[in-house]
């Protein structure tokens, strides 16, 4: 996007990874309708890219009064949810509200200050990989810096929890135990790297529908994450494979029976283990190494041509100066 004549911009780029749930146990339904979880999150090397830019006339862009009322816009491919349906824009508006910024609607005013969020999506959507949550986390991390909000990580996580259950983890990424609704985050040690073939499904699956199916058919479990936490301290794919666990799998497979068939096909084609990604419908096939992930991709290409090879863990959101404006290199690696 080229700013209009006379208008300057300050811009940052944020790269945010998708997440995996290596372990997900459902302890039961809560009074607020959510489910009490024990989960192990890990980021994986599939990324969305955000560019956040503050535009305005020189002198006005950084003027506190001019910045108090500004337009906040999202620019994204039409396939991506638009406006307030997009979690990244909702995150921006909420952070703005908490920072005393009044979002303006209507046509852009040449003298006004604007923030534009450009979103480039690569994480599969509605796939159980927290793509929308990652975008929201990216917007929070990027705008916290661009707008000089000065929120600390735990404050960003509190805002994140208002936006969705996976957003607090996405603010810092890495590997973490999630409890409560999934929003209470404790970092855990992981070595790795672990190698995956990620097999998205062509049709999305609604998270709330999967939880409702769990309500109908499943009982609260008391399985603990110790085996996964132990396996993560090694680089042993077989150990991790034996420990992968997702209690939403039966509910999702009931709603989408072909996923059970595809899991079997991935195992028959050489995956070490296969687990549903979050509430699905993506399947995660763990492989012994990167070459095995590529070989598995070739073996399943006829029914999963969109499969992606990836590695975990993948750190957290990475913030850098916009390349066009600065050659000073990375501004901040991650928030961890």
Residues 108-127 that bind ligand C5P (CB under 6 A): none
Contact region with ligand C5P (CB under 6 A), list: 159-167, 187-195, 246-254, 263-271? 159-167
Among 17, 81, 128, 182, binds ligand C5P (CB under 6 A): 182
Closest separation between CB of residue 134 and ligand C5P, Å? 12
Among 23, 147, 169, 211, binds ligand C5P (CB under 6 A): 211
Q: Which is nearer to ligand C5P, 203 or 327 (CB)?
A: 203
DSSP track, 250-304: HHHHHH-THHHHHHHHHHHTT-SEEEE-TTSS-EEEEESSHHHHHHHHHHTTTT-
Closest separation between CB of residue 19 and ligand C5P, Å? 12
From the list 121, 166, 201, 263, the catalytic residue is 166
What does the alpha-carbon distance between residue 171 and residue 317 come to, in Å, rounded to a whole number? 7
> Could you say whether residue 42 binds ligand C5P (CB under 6 A)?
no
Q: Which is nearer to ligand C5P, 207 or 282 (CB)?
A: 207
Told to judge if 19 belongs to the known catalytic residues of this protein, a careful annotator would answer: yes
Q: Which is nearer to ligand C5P, 164 or 241 (CB)?
A: 164
> Could you say whether residue 71 binds ligand C5P (CB under 6 A)?
no
Q: If you count DSSP H runs as helices and E runs as strands, how many of each does the chain have, helices first?
A: 11, 14
> Could you say whether residue 287 binds ligand C5P (CB under 6 A)?
no
Structure tokens given for 153: 């990580």
Contact region with ligand C5P (CB under 6 A), list: 30-38, 135-143, 149-157, 319-327? 30-38
From the list 19, 48, 121, 135, the catalytic residue is 19
| Residues 312, 323 contacting (CB under 8 angstroms) | no
Closest separation between CB of residue 259 and ligand C5P, Å? 18
Closest separation between CB of residue 278 and ligand C5P, Å? 9
Closest separation between CB of residue 173 and ligand C5P, Å? 17
What does the alpha-carbon distance between residue 183 and residue 161 come to, in Å, rounded to a whole number? 6
Among 43, 144, 172, 207, binds ligand C5P (CB under 6 A): 207
What does the alpha-carbon distance between residue 58 and residue 20 come to, in Å, rounded to a whole number? 43
What does the alpha-carbon distance between residue 128 and residue 116 come to, in Å, rounded to a whole number? 27
> Could you say whether residue 326 binds ligand C5P (CB under 6 A)?
no
What does the alpha-carbon distance between residue 131 and residue 306 come to, in Å, rounded to a whole number? 16
Contact region with ligand C5P (CB under 6 A), list: 31-39, 47-55, 120-128, 317-325? 31-39
| Residues 245, 228 contacting (CB under 8 angstroms) | yes
Among 60, 62, 71, 181, binds ligand C5P (CB under 6 A): 181
| Residues 336, 185 contacting (CB under 8 angstroms) | no
Q: Could you say which DSSP state residue 147 is in?
A: T
> Could you say whether residue 164 binds ligand C5P (CB under 6 A)?
yes
Cα–Cα nearest to 26, from 12, 17, 38, 34: 38
Cα–Cα nearest to 279, from 97, 126, 125, 139: 126
Closest separation between CB of residue 127 and ligand C5P, Å? 13
Told to judge if 166 belongs to the known catalytic residues of this protein, a careful annotator would answer: yes
What does the alpha-carbon distance between residue 180 and residue 111 come to, in Å, rounded to a whole number? 46
Sign of CA dihedral 156, 162, 163, 168: positive
Q: Which is nearer to ligand C5P, 129 or 296 (CB)?
A: 129
Q: Could you say which DSSP state residue 333 is in?
A: S
Binding site for ligand C5P (CB under 6 A): 34-35, 37, 164-166, 181-182, 207-208, 211
Q: Which residues are catalytic?
A: 19, 166
């Amino acid at each position: 996007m080229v700013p209009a004549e006379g208008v300057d911009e300050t811009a940052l780029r944020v790269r945010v990874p998708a997440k995996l749930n290596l372990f997900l146990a459902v302890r039961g339904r809560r009074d607020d309708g959510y489910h009490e979880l024990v989960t192990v999150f890990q980021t994986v090397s599939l990324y969305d890219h955000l560019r956040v830019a503050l535009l305005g006339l020189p002198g006005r862009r950084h003027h506190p009064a001019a910045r108090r009322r500004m337009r906040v816009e999202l620019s994204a491919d039409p396939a991506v949810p638009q406006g307030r349906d997009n979690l990244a824009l909702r995150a921006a508006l909420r952070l703005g509200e908490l920072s005393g910024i009044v979002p303006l609607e209507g046509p852009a005013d040449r003298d006004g200050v604007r923030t534009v969020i450009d979103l480039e999506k690569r994480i599969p959507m509605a796939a159980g990989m927290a793509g929308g949550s990652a975008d929201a986390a990216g917007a929070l991390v990027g705008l916290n810096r661009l707008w000089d909000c000065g929120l600390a990580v735990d404050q960003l996580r509190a805002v994140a929890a208002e936006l969705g259950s996976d957003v607090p983890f996405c603010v810092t990424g890495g590997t973490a135990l999630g409890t409560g609704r999934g929003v209470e985050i404790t970092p855990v040690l992981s070595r790795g790297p672990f190698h995956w073939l990620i097999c998205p499904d062509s049709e999305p699956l609604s998270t709330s529908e999967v939880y409702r199916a769990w309500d109908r058919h499943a009982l609260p479990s008391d399985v603990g994450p110790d085996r996964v936490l132990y396996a993560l301290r090694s680089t042993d794919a077989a150990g991790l494979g034996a420990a992968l666990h997702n209690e939403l799998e039966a509910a999702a497979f009931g709603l989408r029976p072909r996923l059970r068939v595809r899991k079997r096909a991935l195992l028959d084609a050489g995956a070490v283990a296969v687990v549903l990604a979050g509430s699905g419908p993506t399947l995660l096939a763990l492989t012994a190494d990167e070459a095995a992930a590529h070989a598995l991709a070739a073996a399943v290409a006829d029914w999963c041509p969109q499969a992606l090879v990836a590695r975990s863990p993948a750190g957290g959101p990475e913030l850098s100066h916009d390349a066009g404006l600065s050659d000073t290199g990375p501004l901040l690696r991650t928030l961890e």
